[in-house]
Structure 1
Amino acid sequence: MSLSLLLEKYDVSTEEGLQKALSEVEKEESEVDEALSGVLSRACMLEDKLRTASQAYTKLSEVKADAQVAADMVDRTAELARDVSAKVRQLDLARSRVAECQRRVHDLIDLQLCSAGVEAAIKANDYETGAGHVSRFLSMDPGSVAAARARGAADPRDAMTRAANTLREHIVRRFEDAAQKNDDENVDKLFKLFPQIGRAEEGVRLLAKYLATKLGVEIRRLSVVAEGEGAVFADAMTRVLEAAAAAAARAAALAALAAPGLLPAALAALQPQVCAGVRRVSGALLRAAARPASALQAEPALAELALAHSTIQLYFAFLTRRTQADAASLPEAAKQAALDAVEKLIAECDLTRTAQDILGHYLELEKFFLEESVNKALKMATPQPGSTTSSLVDDVFFIARKVIRRSISTGSVEGACVVLNEVSAVLERDVTAVLRRRLRAAPPDPLPLPAPPAPRAPRLALDLTALDLTADLAHALNKDVEAQRLLFLAHLAEAEAGAEWAARLAEEAVRGAGGAARGPTDTHKVESCAAGLGAAAAALALAAEQGVAAVRAGLAPRLALWADALVQPAPLAEELEDDADAFPQALEQFSECARQHLPQHTVDALLLAVVTDVATRAEARILHHHYDREGGLAAERRCRRAAGRAGGGGARERAARLAQAASLLALERPQHAADVLRPPRLPPARVRDILARRTDFKIEDIKKLKL
């Protein structure tokens, strides 16, 4: 630290400041001594490093000289390599020119030999050899001929072109002769020569013409429908289309040898014969499938129409697949052009219009079959005196499933959608209306809920006696009450099953029509039409809800008695357990009987409704009785057991309110009311009203309660 800084930091005019400054100077001096000692201790090490560096420096000159020698050698080697590489390139160029010259000379020699060879082959009727010479001529480099003409020589291609044309005429003539004789072996052999002479398109055209003529004769023979039973028309159409597919497969196999992408032209020549043959068979089929007198007579015709349409769709799919396979090796643009050509051929041919006629007739006949069959099922399901069962839903959905599956078997997404819409309309319009009409009102006592035991109270005994007399009178007036009850429950179960069946049919339709769908658009179309079955399922579910409401209405008188019995001050039985378990046992008998006729979820819904209704009524009936401690305890036991039988959330809440109200009746003192109140708490006014029903509680004590 400098002197000026010390003077600024310490007051040296005093002994204390002077002492502090001296201490600071001594401390700094000791630090300097330590640093100096460290530097001196490293002096030997620095001398060693300097000595080593000086020795290494003396060797650098030798390394530099060696590196310079190596660099000079590399430069000379690189220059030599460049000279050698240039000479090698010159040698390669000269060799390639010599090879090209030799090839052109050979081409000119071969051209003269090919011309002579073709003429000799024509004279010897050896068309395979002649075609080989023409193929060699077509594969020659045009530059060879151009070089010959540049030297002033005559064009050597003229003679070869004349010879090739002569060979083509001979091959065409021989091909036509073989076609007239139906000589398939020679036809195939001669067809394979057309690609070699550069006439692949002409060969495919001649082959397609031959196959079309042969196919027309075979189709006229196969389209004759023999009299007999079974699907004779569909079988005839299948034979016609199988013959057409065989001809198309043969054309595809031979066209692939010529050149890829030529199959659409061959199919265009074959298609008129196919359309004419199918039109003849379909005309006979449509005349035979005229509107029948009954649904039973319509089924064979429907099966034939569906099979015929499906066969046509399979034939179209076969043509598309063959074209895709034939054009697989082509560039993407050429491949798409071939597919577009086949799609256009399919869309514009008469076979497509025939398929539309068949589908239209099928849909008209299928609608007749569906309506007639459903109407017959509805008539057969008309309730008869004493009948206790119904097969309405089973019959209708058997018909619906058959119709939907048959429409899917046509292979037409549009046809399946039309049938789905018809089935949905019939289910929603006819079947649901019948079930709603039959479930509008339930017969007396639709499900047996045992009456409460006769209490000691005279008024309730009179009510039970009146109810029993009413039931006896109903049985006396109508001996078929039991049959009506069972039939009503059967219809209710049918409505529940119908809703499930409709949803299941929709899933099956979407899954089954997936094979006929040609893309996401068709799939969405089927899903949209299948949603109509979902609407039918909702309508059937509403009919089932109407039936459940009718059952609840039929049980209302008995539920009112049970509600009054639960809160009766007087015991319902001699034993306390029997008195408390009377309502749970009645519910158990009720549920056992209901499970014999209804689905489990419907039984659960009815039980929840019964418990909720009884709990609501019983809470209101408390205010119509007066209780002592014993009567309150009896009511509390019954209500607590009833709350334990509650199932769903709403029923548990109502039963908990009832049990809480009954617990107030069983209190020893009104001051204990706050101890039994649990959420959901009863309103304070209702608590005071219930406590006031105890004859041994004072009104003043009840009013003083803080609730």
Structure 2
Amino acid sequence: MSLTLLLEKYDVSTEEGLQKAITEIEKEEAEVDEALSDVLSRACSLEGRLRTASQAYTKLGEVKADAQVAADMVDKTAVLARDVSAKVRQLDLARCRVAECQRRVHDLIDLQLCSAGVEAAIKAHDYETGAAHVSRFLSMDPRSLHAARARGAPSAPDPRRAMAKAADTLREHLVTRFQEASKKEDDAAIERLFKLFPQIGRAEEGVNLLAKYLARQVEANIRRASVVSNTGPAVYAEALTRVLEIGGAAVERVRKLATGTPGLLNAAIVIIQPVVCAGASRVSAALRSARADVLSPAGSKRNALAAEPVLLELALCLNRIRLYFDFLTRKVEADASTLDEANQKAASEQIEKTIAKCELTRTAQDLLGQYLALERFFLEESVNKALKLAAPSAGAVTSSLVDDVFFIARKVIRRSISTGSVDGACAVLNEAGALLERACAALRRCVRAAPPDALPLPAPPARGPADAAPALALNSRLNRDVEAQRSLFLAHMNEAEAGGEWAERLAAEAVAEAAPLCRSRRELDKLQSCAAGLGSAAAAFVAAHELSLAALAAALKHKVVAWAEYLADPGRDGDEAEDDCDAGALPQALETLSEAARQALSASSAERLLSALVSDVAARAEARVLLHHYTRMGGFLVERRARRLAAWCGGGAAAARERCARLAALGALLALDSAAHAADVPHKLGPQLVRDVLARRIDFKIEDIKRLKL
């Protein structure tokens, strides 16, 4: 620390400050002495390092000289390597030229040998050897042969012309022998000769010859296979299956023989397919002629029972045609699988065009038209029969309308999917949806109005002679016809509820089963759009079920009104207490109704009906309360009835619990000893409604009610 800082830090004018400054100075002096001692102790080691560095510096000159010598040697080596590399490149170029020259010489020698070998093989009928020579000639590079001849004697005869002439001669002999073997139907010779065409560069011609031979065989076999000798079920579908199997076997045979020449199967199919189409057309014409009594609108045997086996036969025919087209597509794609992507795409497009333009596609369209017309007739006839069987009649207690209609719809939809045609499935889905809506309309007519007392709801207890007569008339015994109508109405009501579930399930099943038939997103969208028609039918069934619930509630309305009046009734005598059985009459009646509803209806329908009826009773009773005047005992009676009803709703009709709790709160207000206790009653009623209810008590003063703070 400097002297200036010490003077600023300590006050040296006093003895104490002077002493602290001296102490600080002595401390710094001791630290300086210690640092000097440390430096002096390391002086020896520093001198040794300086000597070592000076000795090493003297040797740097020798190292520099050695490094210069090494650099000179590397430069000389690099120059030598460049010279050697140039000579190696020259030698490699010379070697390549020599190899090319040798190859051209060998090609010329082989060309002469091949030309002579082909002629000798033709004379000896050794076509395999001749084809091997031609294959060797075709594998030669034409440019090298031309260059070799140009460097030699240009005026000499061109051996390539002789070889080409020999190859043409061999091709003519092969074609002649192939035609002779075709006439003799010598399959072994045909296969042996066919394998030689790719070797002589005539693979496409060989495929055409083989396809023509197979087409003649297919035509003869189809004529025999398309003959129908009996009149059993689906005999024409079996005949069509045999025809398509014969065509498929011929295509498969070409594919196996032409394995080494991919991309040529399309050409063979173009030749074979017209023969298959002609055979299928003959079978289709025979089917329409034999089934004319059913297919024709004026046919003598045209009925739903006779139409079903014909529909199965038509669906089977369409399915076989679709499977045959899928088979052709798969085989062509497999044949072109070794080609590049562009050629694969071209092969797929070509087979699609071949299928679209062939006569078999038009035959399938004709069969599909016949199938759809007959399927529409079958649907209409079957649904009409189901509607007739479901019509109300004396003694009928059940109905199978929905079960029959949905069984028919499912059968028809699945049969249309089995055809393999997306258009056919969509058309049938549309027809099925329309007929389901028609069946639903018939069902709506049956459930539009419920018969009287469709479900047992006992009448409230009679209050006197004036009330006893209507109650007895309302509970008169139903005759047998009314009981049958009641049972039939409940059956239709259940069917309407089940119909909505069935329609949704049927739509989902149709989409799931027909989705594999769709080859594009557009077809799938069309299928889903047609299946949405079944969704519309489901909505129609749901609406019919809602209508039936409303009709059933309307049939019980007169008893609902009577029970509402019973709940709000102040009693015959305000001083007479009501028995426990009378207070529990409504829960007992609702329990009877609940048991009957749960036996006759589904659980959800019974719950909705009970909740609606109880809510209606409570709402009407609340309105009737505001029209009566009550004594304390009369209010107590209303409170007991409402409390019993609320207790029953806790387990029997939970959806109406809030409405019944509101009615119980009204009863509690009517049963108060004093209007001042109204604030102690738990409720969710408005202040004005509370005052109106309290005003119905004849023993409460209006002034006391108005003074209440609610």
Secondary structure at the aligned position of 1:312 is classed as helix
| AA partner of residue 587 (structure 2) | P
Structure 2 Cα separation of the partners of residues 188 and 700 of structure 1:
120
- SS for the counterpart of 1:193 is coil
Change (3 A) 1:74 1:365: same
Structure-to-structure mapping, 1:58-207, within 5 angstroms: 58-59=55-56, 61=59, 64-65=63-64, 78=78, 81-150=81-150, 151-152=152-153, 153-207=156-210
Q: Secondary structure at the match of 2:452?
A: coil
Matched, 1:55 2:52: yes
Per the alignment, do residues 268 and 4 of structure 1 end up closer, same or farther by CA in structure 2, a change over 3 Å counting?
same
Q: Which amino acid aligns with 1:157?
A: R
Q: CA deviation at 1:400?
A: 0.9
CA distance in 2 between counterparts of 1:112 and 1:357 reads 62
User: Which of residues 316, 321, 346 is equivalent to 1:312?
Assistant: 321
- Kept in 1: contact 2:614–2:653 (CA 8 A): no
Q: Which residue of 1 aligns with 2:471?
A: 467
Deviation at 1:103, TM superposition (A): 2.2
Q: Distance in 2 between matches of 1:436 and 1:359?
A: 34
Matching of residues 226-375 of structure 1 within 5 Å? 226-257=229-260, 259-289=261-291, 290-291=295-296, 292=299, 293-375=302-384
Structure 2 CA distance for partners of 1:173 and 1:44, relative to 1, 3 Å: farther
Q: How far is the alpha carbon of 1:652 from its aligned partner? A: 3.0
Counterpart CA distance in 2 for 1:149 and 1:46 is 95
Give aligned pairs, total.
Answer: 692
Shift in Å at residue 576 of structure 1?
6.9
Supply the RMSD in Å over aligned alpha carbons: 3.2
Listed as ranges, the gaps of 5+ residues in structure 1 are: none
For 1:172, give the aligned amino acid: V
Paired letter, 1:668: D
Shifted more, 150-159 versus 434-443: the winner is 150-159
**In 2 relative to 1, CA 193–696 (structure 1 residues): closer, same or farther, beyond 3 Å?**
same
Candidates 39, 44, 63, aligned match of 1:43: 39
Residue in structure 2 matched with residue 666 of structure 1 by the alignment: 671
Q: Distance in 1 between matches of 2:468 and 2:46?
A: 125
User: Which residue is 1:652 aligned to?
Assistant: 657
1:602-639 per-residue CA deviation (whole Å, 9 max, x = no partner) reads: 11111110121111112122224444444434433432
1:675 maps to a residue whose letter is: D
**Shift in Å, 1:380:** 1.7
- Cα distance in 2 for partners of 1:657, 1:498 equals 37
Structure 1 CA distance, aligned partners of 2:585 and 2:27?
A: 107
Please state whether the residue corresponding to 1:198 is helix, strand or coil.
coil
C-alpha distance after superposition, 1:501-543 (max 9, x if no partner): 1111111110111121112111111100000111111111111
* Residue identity matched to 1:466: P
Cα pair distance change 1:114/1:26, threshold 3 Å: farther
* Corresponding residue SS for 2:549: helix
Task: Give the match for residue 597 of structure 2.
Answer: 594
- SS of equivalent to 2:113: helix
Q: Quick one: distance in 2 between partners of 1:19 and 1:546?
A: 118
Go from structure 1 to structure 2 and tell me whether the alpha carbon gap of 1:16 and 1:547 turns closer, same or farther (over 3 Å shift): farther
Deviation at 1:656, TM superposition (A): 2.3
Aligned to 2:621: 618
Describe the superposition over 1:469-510 as per-residue Cα deviations: whole angstroms up to 9, x where unpaired.
1331x73xx542211111110011111111111111111110
When structure 1 is superposed on structure 2, of 66-75 and 311-320 the one drifting more is 66-75
Report the CA distance between 1:665 and its aligned residue.
2.1
Q: Secondary structure of the residue that 1:513 maps to in structure 2?
A: helix
Q: 1:433 aligns with which of 441, 446, 449?
A: 441
Matches within 5 A, 1:555-634: 555-570=556-571, 578-579=581-582, 581-634=584-637
Q: 1:246 to 1:608 in 2, by over 3 A?
A: same
> In percent, how many aligned pairs have the same letter?
59
Offset at 1:72?
Answer: 5.4
CA contact (8 A) 2:318 2:420 kept: yes
| Unaligned stretches of 5+ residues in structure 2 | none
* Residues 85 and 432 (structure 1), Cα distance of their counterparts in 2 relative to 1, 3 Å cut: same
Matched, 1:407 2:379: no
Q: Distance in 2 between matches of 1:462 and 1:167?
A: 122
Structure 2 distance, partners of 1:26, 1:464, is: 131
TM-score, scaled relative to structure 2? 0.90
In structure 2, the CA distance between the partners of 1:648 and 1:587, relative to structure 1 (3 Å rule), is closer
Deviation at 1:587, TM superposition (A): 2.5
TM-score norm. by structure 1 comes to: 0.90
Compute the displacement of 1:640 (Å). Answer: 2.9
Relative to structure 1, the CA distance from residue 464 to residue 137 in structure 2 (aligned partners, 3 Å threshold; closer, same or farther) is farther
Letter in 2 for 1:107: D
**Structure 2 counterpart of 1:532, which letter?**
G
Segment of structure 1 superposing worse, 642-651 or 344-353 = 642-651
Q: Distance in 2 between matches of 1:193 and 1:479?
A: 92
- Give the Cα separation in 2 of the matches to 1:504 and 1:467: 46
The residue identity in structure 1 corresponding to 2:131 is A
8 A contact 2:12–2:18 mirrored in 1 = no
Task: Work out the CA distance in 2 between the residues paired with 1:95 and 1:74.
Answer: 31
Deviations 1:388-422 (A, max 9, x none): 11111111111111111111111111111111111
